[in-house]
Structure 1
Amino acid sequence: MPKRIQTPTGDNAWQVTGHAEVRALLADTRLGRSHPDPANAARSSESALFGGPLGDFDTEPADHARMRALLQPHFSARRMAALGDRVDALTAELLDGLAGQSQPADLVQLLAVPLPVLVICELLGVPYADRDQFRAWSLAAADTTDRARSEQGLADLYDYGTRLVALKRGEPGDDVISRLLAVDGVTDPEIAGLAMSLLFAGHETTVVQIGFGALLLLTNPDQRQAMAENPDLIPNAVEEMLRAPDKSVTGIPRYAREDLEIDGTLVRAGDLVLLDIGAANHDPAVFPDPERFDITRRTAAHVSFGHGGHYCVGAPLARLELRSVFSGLVTRFPTMRPAIPLADLRIRQDVLTGGLVELPVAW
């Protein structure tokens, strides 16, 4: 049953935590990201990106379907298979670099950050030399406490995308932006927006997941040993890493497009509904003993990538990177361990994606 809560911005919202309800509502077209009166809509945070309404209420379903149709081909099984060797090579280079570092070394800065950034740069045709700039803009855009900073970060990302599109129009390459430019009827501003959405979502969430996944492995040596002895467990282990962290603070924001009932509770059109992915992934009715990290668990039902029409387009890429990282990590660093007490680890509290500030390790 949804719970009435107050968000950090002081607005009222419905929070949904049960797995069955969250999964169903993720695919329910009666909920959306837009609002008929965005200026007066309830907010979940001060993030310009994810704290309030996005998009045009009248055209959201069609706009969303168009966006997915444009992006889906770039994350097909064929394209991901072709990218696999390159991801493995980039991972190996980073692990070589890590092995040469003095100890303790920060796994976040040496592995979790650079791999997704390198991969998304290659995919989009973005210069890796710009990484510090666009990562700073991404973190600013994800700020949940300072709306002005978040809006500026989002504007900086879009301006950067606009410049990239202009550059690619003159000098196309073998990348997503160039391929989108070849599609009839797609405008340059549209491509800039799509590209920057991919740039943000395609690296920041995977950075966070690598950090949390590594921490789970390092604190569960029996599970790490099982992965090392049986590489066939790695795909399922990655799914458990996606499920296990309780990352949600309040939940993914949606707005009711019409009056609807959620588990017997009437939710009015325009109400803010927060779908708590972390709580859903820890629902004991679906995941017995949910706090236990178990790489042999049946994890197919986790909702970390969403469900239905809002299922993450980039999920195949994230899985590709995570499998490569953790396959290499358990093989190359069988004795790796956290180098500081777990109580001293810090989680980012002011950005949408959360994630570890650092993860000092030794081996």
Structure 2
Amino acid sequence: MTQPDTQPDAQPRAEAQEGPAAPVTLPVARDSPFDPPPEYTALRERCPVSPLELTVGPGGDTGWLVTRLADARAVLSDRRFSHRNELISLPIPPPFPMAEYAPPPAAPGAFIKMDQPDHSRYRRFLTRRFTMRAIAELTPMITRLTAEHLDAMARSERPVDLVTAFAEPLPVQVMCEMLGVPGSVHEPLARHLAVLSRMSYGVEELITACTEIAEALRDLVSAKHEKPGTDLLSDLARGGELTDEEVVNIAWALLGGGFDTTANMIALGAFALLAHPEQLAALRARPELADNAVEELLRYLTISHLGASRAALADVELNGAQIKAGDTVVVALPAANRDPAHFGAPDRLDITASTQGHVAFGHGEHQCIGQHLARSVLRIALPALFDRFPDLRLVTAPEEVPLRSDMLHYGVHELPVTWDTDD
């Protein structure tokens, strides 16, 4: 939805927040694999726009942490809060030690880290491929790939790691088929992008990953010029309105966003359903609940556990807090999606509950362009998994499943499962 260039100040709630508060650090540690850090509950109740310690960046050493849904949606839909890379400070340490942190402006085509008008200019080249109607046309392809991976999983020796056998390779193949990436490139691209999905890595790892990804995508774009197809990259390369550098960076943004996020939702969603057998039973008994079940899993799990960061371009009052131009504001998406002012029983997984208004995909102009694709993969993959293996179960205690608290997107590192039924 297009927003006006200027907007009135976001309206605070009727109740004033407590304050002033000492700056907090961004919560990361969890008491449960499915619940956000417990600190969010107290912050949301007492100081929903809280001073936040920042580790490094252009915006100073203190910013703001937003934990209520109404405030989150206000920030994410207000053009006075910028998504430009070079303006935003980090709430967590940088991936490797550095004397200074001066993030560069987004490269041509890297629309995710741009504001208007550049953001919309690039995004319009993609919109028609990501509409609900366009994604619905991919249903046979997603269904076919899902069945192929489940067939391979059925032939595997048990126990099986659901992450590497199903959750990771399926969205990689879906996105690569949509973009027109040949099979020989799937694994190296996924491997190098996985390095960049970590919260820490070495300088040499970074250089290697970025170099290999860029070279692979440049070669791919060159091949599309010589032999175009019906895929998305061919459309971008032959349109004549974009440079090869822009096409490469658009592809990088789509692949980087599409691989890691959907894979984590498949694995963590399966884990949550296995840990809540009454919800899994309800889904199996009522397949028509699949769409709402996916929305509830997106809300309940919210894998973007580090939130959405913005930089204030002007002084803004938000729920009683005086945000100054240049301040970094971190919207705590997991906290917003558990806001009891909006969701009836926010800390309970209930696939029949209303999920309207959740911000798992963000909100406003920068809401995830691939949200309909992610939903489609989840709606197909999760029911198909449990239909194929009706007695699927964990082979380890839930508390022993290794969690991705150390990654940019939350999930599980591995999910060992088994079953008794044979084909």
1:6: which partner in 2?
Answer: 53
CA distance in structure 2 between the aligned counterparts of 1:155 and 1:347, rounded to whole angstroms: 29
CA contact (8 A) 1:140 1:154 kept: no
Match of 1:30 in 2: 80
2:118 is aligned to: 63
Quote the residue 1:342 is aligned against.
398
1:77 to 125, 132, 138: 132
Deviates more, 1:77-86 or 1:236-245: 77-86
Rounded Cα–Cα distance in structure 1 between residues aligned with 2:257 and 2:368: 10
Shift of 1:128: 2.0
Letter in 1 for 2:219: R
Structure 2 contact 265–303 (Cα < 8 Å) conserved:
no
Give the TM-score normalised by structure 1. Answer: 0.92
Aligned position for 1:141: 196
Indicate the SS of the match to 2:72. Answer: helix
Specify the alignment match of 1:166 in structure 2: 222
Deviation per residue, 1:89-128 (Å, 9 max, x gap) = 1111111222222221111111101100110110111122
Structure 1 pair 147–69 and aligned structure 2 pair: CA distance change class (3 A):
farther
Note the C-alpha offset of 1:332.
1.6
Paired with 2:155 and 2:76, the residues of 1 have a C-alpha distance of 44
Change (3 A) 1:313 1:247: closer
1:100 aligns with 2:162: no
Given that residues 47 and 145 in structure 1 are in contact (C-alpha distance below 8 angstroms), is that contact kept between their aligned partners in structure 2? yes
Indicate if the aligned counterparts of 2:224 and 2:233 stay in contact, CA closer than 8 A.
yes
* Percent identity over paired residues: 37
Q: 1:259 to 1:55 in 2, by over 3 A?
A: farther
**Counterpart secondary structure, 2:217:** helix
How big is each residue's C-alpha offset from its partner over 1:234-273, in whole Å with a ceiling of 9 and x where there is no partner? Answer: 0000001111115354421111112111112111111111
Structure 2 unaligned spans of 5+? 1-47, 97-101, 108-113
* Matching residue within 142, 146, 165 for 1:110: 165
Q: Secondary structure at the match of 1:244?
A: helix
Q: In 2, are the aligned partners of 1:52 and 1:253 still within 8 Å (CA)?
A: no
2:367 alignment counterpart = 311
CA distance in 2 between partners of 1:255 and 1:158 (Å): 28
Residue number among 294, 298, 322 corresponding to 1:238 in the alignment: 294
Q: 83, 88, 95: which is aligned to 2:143?
A: 88
CA RMSD of aligned residues (A): 2.2
**C-alpha distance in structure 1 between counterparts of 2:211 and 2:358, whole Å:** 33
CA–CA distance in structure 2, aligned partners of residues 53 and 362 of structure 1: 46
- In structure 2, relative to structure 1, the CA distance for the partners of 1:334 and 1:52 (3 Å cut) is farther
* Secondary structure of 1:274 counterpart: strand
Taking a change above 3 Å as real, the CA distance of residues 151 and 299 of structure 1, as seen in their structure-2 partners, is farther
Equivalence map 1:1-363=2 (5 Å): 1-7=48-54, 9=56, 11-34=61-84, 38=87, 42-45=89-92, 46=94, 54-55=105-106, 60-146=115-201, 148=203, 149-150=205-206, 153-363=209-419
Greater CA deviation, 115-124 or 91-100? 91-100
Q: Secondary structure at the match of 1:85?
A: helix
- Distance change (3 Å), C-alpha of 1:313 and 1:47: farther
Q: Tell me which amino acid in the other structure corresponds to 1:131.
A: H
The question of whether the paired residues in 1 share the 8 Å contact of 2:146 and 2:384 is answered with yes
The Cα shift of 1:325 comes to: 0.5
Cα pair distance change 1:231/1:353, threshold 3 Å = same
Matched letter for residue 260 of structure 1: V
Larger radius of gyration: 2
Query: Cα–Cα, structure 1 residues 320 and 249, in superposed 2: closer, same or farther, change >3 Å?
Result: closer
CA distance 1:164–1:47, shift in 2 (3 Å):
farther
1:23 & 1:42 partners in 2: Cα distance? 20
Amino acid at match of 1:63: D
| Letter in structure 2 aligned against 1:20 | A
Task: Determine the C-alpha separation between the residues in 2 that align with 1:93 and 1:272.
Answer: 45
Distance 1:147 1:249, change over 3 A: farther
